[in-house]
Amino acid sequence: MKAVVITRSGGPEVLEIQDVPKPQPGPEEVLVNVRNTALNRADLLQRLGRYPAPPGAPQNIPGLEFAGEVAELGMNAHRWQKGDRVMGIVGGGAHAEFVTAHQDAVAAVPPNLEWSGAGAVPEVFITAHDALQQAGFKAGENVMVHAVGSGVGLAATQLVSALGGRAFGTSRTPDKIERAKEFGLESGFEVPEPIALSRLSAFAESVTGGRGFDIVLDLNGGPYFSASVESMALRGRIILIGGVAGGMTNVDLYQILGRRLHIIGTVLRARSLQEKIAATTAFAREVVPLLAQGSVQPVIDSIFSLEKIQDAHRRLESNETFGKVVLTISGFARKV
């Protein structure tokens, strides 16, 4: 099969399309013929040599999510049939024509989703939904989403809105804030430079009637985290999902104590199989019906053919994306 291969650590030029052995499904696994997949920040970091794949996943083939058709069934894999449309997440290896996954770690693709849309769903919606679950989200709560124009940010915004909450977001550009309003964003806070974060607490008071944010989903870290602490409601919950703005910050511990905050760090890729199955099961039960109804939807920035993988990486690295950068594996969707 053809796959994206990281030939060495470096820039997009180290990525090549190579012929590699097709994986074989193990017990209780399915082999999926990948139609579409998408890029994530983890793929960029893996290419740079900063985020190795977890044990058991291909070390030189990136890709954390996929949508495609079941091609083969492993021993004792009885949940799906050949030809079923499925999507899911894996530790790596999804930027290829075939990928294997545990039969319980995939979900059905709703009939209304085209392959390109389905490929943009698993990582962002499972991550966002899982984060909201960990935060104990309830209808009526005020949720701040940092990096609202990202794939996870837009998925979270839609879920908060669809489930009866109020979604707010940050972005470095006003254009992304305006575009996110189409997907349920109530109001946004522009951060053209980190110093602007000093005004985040005032923004929180103004849009929540002085209450502050009940939940912050922080995909940025760095100075965003400390600014979030000062913007929280009593007993608020901060879910730290990423650290693209940095891994270090200064935090006023008395704010955490006085507001009785809960701070939770979360990662998806390094979780055990059983944890991934649990997250996928909850996603299939609670989010897939919303996708089928059109209450939430994948947001696609651009679509590239597999052969244009280097250009796809450059697009994601530009930080100009709004939504997901999608890869077409089997030519079922428009190519760039």
- Looking at the fold, whether 207 and 279 belong to one and the same domain comes out as no
- Looking at the fold, whether 274 and 261 belong to one and the same domain comes out as no
Residue 27 lies in a domain: yes
Residue 333 lies in a domain: no
- Looking at the fold, whether 138 and 152 belong to one and the same domain comes out as yes
CATH number for the domain that contains residue 117? 3.90.180.10
For residue 336, pLDDT beyond 60: no
Domain count across the chain:
2
Residue 336 lies in a domain: no
Residue found by looking up tokens 């730290």 in the block: 240
Q: Where are the alpha helices (DSSP H) in the chain?
A: 41-47, 115-119, 122-134, 151-162, 174-180, 200-208, 223-229, 253-259, 273-286, 288-293, 309-317
- Looking at the fold, whether 174 and 239 belong to one and the same domain comes out as yes
CA–CA separation, 88 and 122 (whole Å): 5
Q: Work out whether strand 262-265 and strand 232-240 pair parallel, antiparallel, or are unpaired.
A: parallel
Q: What percent of the chain has pLDDT over 90?
A: 97
- Looking at the fold, whether 260 and 275 belong to one and the same domain comes out as no
Among candidate residues 242, 265, 288, the one where a domain is terminated: 265
Closest residue by Cα to residue 172 from 187, 189, 184, 155? 189
Among candidate residues 241, 265, 289, the one where a domain is terminated: 265
Q: Residue 305: give the domain boundaries.
A: 2-121+270-328
- Looking at the fold, whether 162 and 133 belong to one and the same domain comes out as yes
Average pLDDT over residues 220-236: 98
User: What tens digit of pLDDT does each residue of 160-217 get?
Assistant: 999 999 999 999 999 999 999 999 999 999 999 999 999 999 999 999 999 999 999 9
Among candidate residues 265, 296, 318, the one where a domain is terminated: 265
Residue found by looking up tokens 């083939």 in the block: 61
Q: What percent of the chain has pLDDT over 70?
A: 98
- Looking at the fold, whether 152 and 256 belong to one and the same domain comes out as yes
- Looking at the fold, whether 242 and 284 belong to one and the same domain comes out as no
Query: How far apart, in Å, do the first and last CA atoms of the chain sit?
Result: 22
- Looking at the fold, whether 187 and 281 belong to one and the same domain comes out as no
- Looking at the fold, whether 233 and 199 belong to one and the same domain comes out as yes
Would you state the pLDDT for residue 270? 86
Token pair for 93: 């290896």
- Looking at the fold, whether 39 and 91 belong to one and the same domain comes out as yes
- Looking at the fold, whether 136 and 159 belong to one and the same domain comes out as yes
Residue 335 lies in a domain: no
Residue 334 lies in a domain: no
252: exposed, middle or buried (C-beta count within 10 Å: 0-12, 13-18, 19+)?
exposed
CATH number for the domain that contains residue 218? 3.40.50.720
Residue 183 carries which DSSP code? G
Instruction: With 0.75 as the threshold, say if the pTM is over it.
Output: yes
Residue 215 lies in a domain: yes
Average pLDDT, the chain: 96
